[in-house]
């Protein structure tokens, strides 16, 4: 059995140990030691990383009651010899801050609101607890944050005890212990009594700031996302950088930002409306002009157009406006946008040509696809020929197309 140094002292960063066994399993090369300060994944807390004789420790897991230190390459040291272990302290201390912060957060939610913590996950960027409530108000979250932060500033000791036999019953535990083996109690004086195998700082003060970032309902529970310690400081720094940049860009004081953005959005909506009105007005003029230029075809008015760099959507609007304005209109339009051609053929209610049939030869010409109804058809293809050439093809087709009674 490996002696777990982190159980008695979570602050051990360097240690020496004897190798009990070197091995390899489906997760890689590993070594087992007679004692270790490396924490293995468990209880929601991720494993420690660091070095064993200068070789990176990339994963630590408890398998069949034994702690396997997975290294990036096999250790050169033989079984029975001594190795030096160094724990990546930045990572571990961060885990201690998040883990102890979770104890406090869970304790306050349970003691003041009756919301029990169902699960805990310590993630790479933030941590979550799932609490057994379907709703959580902003006011509650703020109150909880305040109470937690007060306890943090009270600098309360966090201690561990190993009660013998049934003597754990004298402590107000949140849950009775599930294991029969020796029970390790983590005590935050006056606040929390928990059977826990994780690593914690020795006082609440070391947790640093705690901030709830968000919460969302998950079936019958609520998932609360939070950060502690350095992570909270980093989060503040990132958010501060963003608000500063926004503040400069919008020439607005930080606390006026929400209002400034709202004003911008209102203004944008107004502008969009103005543009739409202007476009509509322009369209009316264009329709008049195009119809004035129309030629006579079989007693109807033929409008032929080739356009460049014009959104298909506005072209479609123009065609609609033309055929709506004049029931005798026949519109043949080819639009080029970069290497794409778009063909539209449409008519008013009076001519009875089948535009869907009419358009097909032109679409094949440009390797295109499309179709529609007898009164209006369209399609797109490649600009393998000029728009003028396609228009000519459409006009030839119009000459040949027999009237189809619609």
Task: Identify the residue among 107, 196, 287, 343 touching Zn ion (CB under 5 A).
Answer: 196
- Closer residue to Zn ion in complex, CB, 96/287: 96
- Closer residue to Zn ion in complex, CB, 98/304: 98
Query: Mask of contacts with Zn ion, 19-48, x by CB under 5 A?
Result: ------------------------------
Q: Which stretch binds Zn ion (CB under 5 A): 87-95, 180-188, 270-278, 340-348?
A: 180-188
Tokens of 118: 């169902």
**CB-based contact 330:354 (threshold 8 Å):** no
d(Cα 140, Cα 128) in Å, to the nearest integer?
A: 17
**CB-based contact 383:339 (threshold 8 Å):** yes
Least spacing, CB of residue 199 vs Zn ion, in Å = 8
**CB-based contact 30:22 (threshold 8 Å):** yes
Residue nearest to Zn ion (CB): 196
Q: Which stretch binds Zn ion (CB under 5 A): 2-10, 74-82, 118-126, 184-192?
A: 184-192
Size of the site for Zn ion (CB under 5 A): 3
198 contacts Zn ion (rule: CB under 5 A) = yes
Least spacing, CB of residue 209 vs Zn ion, in Å = 19
Least spacing, CB of residue 44 vs Zn ion, in Å = 8
Report which of 272, 328, 262, 269 is spatially closest to residue 300, judged by C-alpha positions: 328
Q: Phi and psi at residue 136, in whole multiples of 5°?
A: -145, 125
Least spacing, CB of residue 211 vs Zn ion, in Å = 20
Considering only residues 280 through 339, tell me which ones interact with Zn ion, judged by CB under 5 A.
Answer: none
Least spacing, CB of residue 173 vs Zn ion, in Å = 13
- Closer residue to Zn ion in complex, CB, 38/70: 38
Which whole-number Å values give the CA distances from 102 to 53, 129, 131, 155, 323, in the listed order?
33, 8, 12, 16, 68
Question: Quick one: DSSP state of residue 384?
Answer: S
Strands (DSSP E) found in 110-220: 117-122, 127-131, 158-161, 185-188, 192-195, 210-218
Alpha-carbon 38 to chain mean position: 32
Q: Which stretch binds Zn ion (CB under 5 A): 30-38, 76-84, 193-201, 279-287?
A: 193-201
Binding site for Zn ion (CB under 5 A): 186, 196, 198
């Amino acid at each position: 059995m490996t002696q777990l140094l982190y159980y008695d002292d979570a602050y051990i960063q360097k240690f020496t140990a004897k190798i009990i066994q070197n091995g390899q399993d489906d997760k890689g090369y590993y070594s087992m030691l007679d004692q270790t300060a490396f924490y293995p994944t468990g209880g929601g807390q991720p494993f420690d990383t660091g070095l064993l004789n200068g070789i990176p420790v990339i994963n630590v897991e408890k398998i069949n009651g034994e702690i396997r230190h997975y290294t990036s390459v096999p250790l050169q040291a033989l079984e029975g010899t001594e190795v030096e272990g160094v724990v990546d302290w930045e990572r571990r201390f961060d885990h201690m801050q998040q883990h102890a912060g979770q104890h406090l957060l869970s304790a306050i939610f349970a003691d003041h609101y009756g919301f029990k913590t169902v699960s805990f996950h310590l993630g790479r960027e933030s941590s979550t607890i799932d609490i057994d409530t379907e709703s959580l108000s902003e006011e509650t979250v703020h109150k909880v944050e305040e109470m937690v932060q007060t306890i943090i500033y009270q600098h309360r000791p966090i201690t561990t005890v190993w009660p013998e036999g049934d003597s754990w019953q004298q402590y107000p535990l949140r849950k009775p212990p599930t294991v029969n083996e020796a029970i390790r109690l983590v005590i935050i004086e006056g606040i929390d009594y928990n059977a826990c195998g994780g690593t914690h700082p020795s006082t609440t003060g070391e947790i640093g700031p705690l901030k709830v970032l968000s919460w969302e309902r998950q079936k019958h529970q609520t998932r609360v996302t939070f950060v502690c310690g350095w992570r909270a400081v980093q989060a503040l720094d990132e958010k501060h950088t963003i608000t500063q940049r926004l503040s400069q860009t919008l020439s607005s004081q930080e606390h006026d930002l929400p209002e400034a953005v709202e004003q911008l959005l209102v203004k944008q909506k107004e502008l969009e409306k103005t543009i739409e009105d202007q476009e509509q007005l322009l369209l009316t003029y264009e329709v008049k002009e195009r119809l004035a230029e129309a030629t006579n075809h079989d007693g109807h008015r033929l409008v032929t157009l080739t356009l460049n760099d014009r959104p298909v959507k506005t072209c479609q609007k123009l065609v609609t406006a033309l055929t709506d304005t004049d029931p005798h209109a026949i519109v043949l339009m080819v639009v080029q946008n970069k290497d794409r051609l778009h063909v539209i053929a449409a008519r008013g209610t009076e001519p009875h040509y089948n535009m869907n049939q009419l358009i097909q030869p032109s679409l094949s010409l440009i390797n295109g696809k499309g179709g529609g109804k007898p009164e209006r058809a369209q399609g797109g293809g490649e600009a393998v020929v000029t728009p003028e050439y396609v228009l000519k093809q459409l006009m030839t087709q119009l000459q040949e197309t027999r009237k189809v009674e619609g």
